[in-house]
Amino acid sequence: MKNYWLKLDQKFLSLTTREKTLLTVCAFVVVVMALYLLLLEPMGMQKSRLQRQLQQITHENIELEGQISVLSSQLKQDPDKDINLEFNQLITESQALSKQLSGSWIILFRLLK
C-alpha cells in the first residue's frame, strides 16, 4: 500500500504546474460535490418535507378551529328549544281540553239531576 502511494506521489510530482493545478481543482470539486450530496442535499430534502408537513398541519389546524367555532355556537343554543316549545303548546292544549271537559261534566250533572 505504501508503494502505491509513493508511485502516485512520484507521478504527481512529475506533472507540470498546470496539470497539478487542474488535478487539485478537480479533486477539490469532487470533495465539495461529495459533501454536498452526502450532507447538504439530504438536509435540504428534509427541510422541504418538514415545510410540507408544517403547511399540512397548519391547514388542518385552521379546519379544526373552524369546527370548534361551529360546535361552540351550537353549544350556546338550547338543544331543548323545540321540545320546550312543543311541550308548552301541549300544556296549553291540555288545559283547554280540561276546561272543555269540566264544562261538559257540569252540563252532564245538571242533566242527570
Give the pLDDT score at 110. 66
pTM of the model: 0.48
Give the pLDDT score at 24. 93
Residue type, 89: Q
Give the pLDDT score at 107. 65
Is the four-CA dihedral 18, 24, 25, 27 of positive or negative sign? positive
* Angstrom distances, CA of residue 98 to CA of 68, 74, 76, 103, 107: 47, 38, 37, 8, 14
**What contacts 78, CB < 8 A, 6 or more positions away?**
84
**Are 12 and 20 within 8 A, CB to CB?**
yes
Alpha carbon 63 to chain centroid distance? 8
Q: Output the nine-digit C-alpha cell for 73.
A: 355556537
Give the pLDDT score at 96. 85
Residue 20: Cβ within 10 Å count: 13
Give the pLDDT score at 108. 61
Residues of the chain with pLDDT under 70: 103-113
pLDDT tens for residues 80-91?
Answer: 888 888 989 999
